[in-house]
Structure 1
């Protein structure tokens, strides 16, 4: 049996050394690396696609569900989009060294609070090869080193993509070990990775609720929780019917496999007769399988009975829960009970109602009259994202460059001593 403890201690030590070099790299040096990454992605497209085809064949043979196949597959267009995302990160301001605060004390001491890299980040994620590039690029731009542990389903793709990243680092004169890939597929090995507190500064899991729960429970390293999305849309009694169907259909069906797709539809009882039939009809025509409460089941025979477990479920598929509520307060209570603090939406023309919803719903992103699919680093103007944080400490919502930094205080004196 492989000695995982030694393996991860070695990787952690290499990453820590690389992080010291990365924190000294200038913005130009880091941007040069990213430019090389984008160029090599496009130049080596055939190699990357061949590796991805290997993963896709294994996925078919192993009966991987269609929703996971969509996440796993790379195409020429998706690789071009990766390269475009990398170039967009180049254009973003480098947060490292930014002065966040500056104060002068009465005794003459001057204090500056400046952004610095986090150090070494361990990224643990499932079968989405694009995350390999997104995560590494954001880490490199912010002067961090990263250890990547993707799902076994994407191993060949991730090897090819990490080879691109390490080649770009080497050609740019920065340490290759600023990006490392865990090639061990044994799930038990993750436990040893999560013990490397001496070398790793933070762990970011990105994937389903089970993965995130395991990382949070086992890690001895601080964790930033991301991803799991039991997302709701509440249709208020004063919703504009013309807005409801487009928003609901987009949020549920535009890409159901992602974490910002809607999973539950809540409808005010006074909107049932006027709005809900059109929504149900549109969902069924879009191929969405429905689970509903008794009121929904009376409205359509297509809805299966919803259980308590249904309300907690992130389907990542063309499946949706539907429930009728008697008030705004009941909708908010449902969301705060079953939601995962990711993204929530209200459709209403009543500003006071919208304001109450925005204030009282506990989530990282709260919408009025817009699809939840906009919860995304690119859509928020951050370029690529490393994940969507659903917690409240350090970072919340789409995590762009500033979320991958910490800060330190620089104190300037002229001989002062404390009495």
Structure 2
């Protein structure tokens, strides 16, 4: 089922076309959206989803023989590792999961004019929302937070509707952003039984909300960004940003959470002072070994490495935009200006041949080709509710 209510505010449900679509295409074709990919692993052949199969099973399950996995097991049970691994594999193979991609890809520039669109229709602001939320440090103020929260909660509504229609429940839910860049698969230590977020860093006084993995019950709380605001108000929380409100909704609802380092970053073309200091925002080079755990990033020639990074990161307030930098895992861009000329070559080298070919295809994409792609997509989903493909493809593409 695919719903795109407007070019600015969209909702997607995708079922069987994942195998034919590179994940990064979502970053390239849709300006602002909430995407929900439903995977019913117990009833759908895993071969239908080679991209996800490779990402989750080949890299996560098959690395279960690695030293990292062995070390992650409780002390004294290494001799039972094989049976534990087999049990975990079996449980995951029998599980159903929903993957929710939320946010806007408008900041990703695939080589042509970037997507430009008018502002989405404003949402009504209630008294409790105005009290609980703050416009500080939000590019679009409280409205920006409400629009984002609305997209996130839209995933929860889609999940519940789909479960009811198909008469089953999902075992776990993955939530992340469409403007994320992943340079490696999720590792075997990720827990699917409690809400899992990025490791401390880029948490802005709360919890980094750029990735969440959890079972259905914890995910219901994690995704309820709008409907829980009145409860936060009643609990006395005021002037919260996205990260502090996210932490408050988990803690007030007694939802446990873990933080792990994960291999992704948020691609941005926003400009930030350099070098960052105290409450500044470090922007990682896409070439950083990572894992970057949701830090801001862009393709660039690294302007700060090694000792330079250590000096910068030690000066940052750890509870704000600080990012893990140990073991040479971080390189920094000078993000004072727009993306540097020749960023395409940098991206192609870092991302690899497959992603580079996708970027190049979209760099030369014409409107007719885009319309044809959307029409093909429509054939592969159970329901389509959206503006005409011609309108969607008119955002920045040549005729």
**Alignment TM-score, normalising by the size of structure 1:** 0.24
Bigger proportion of residues as strand:
1
**Larger Rg computed on CA atoms:** 1
TM-score by length of 2: 0.24
Which one has a larger percent helix, Structure 1 or Structure 2?
Answer: 1
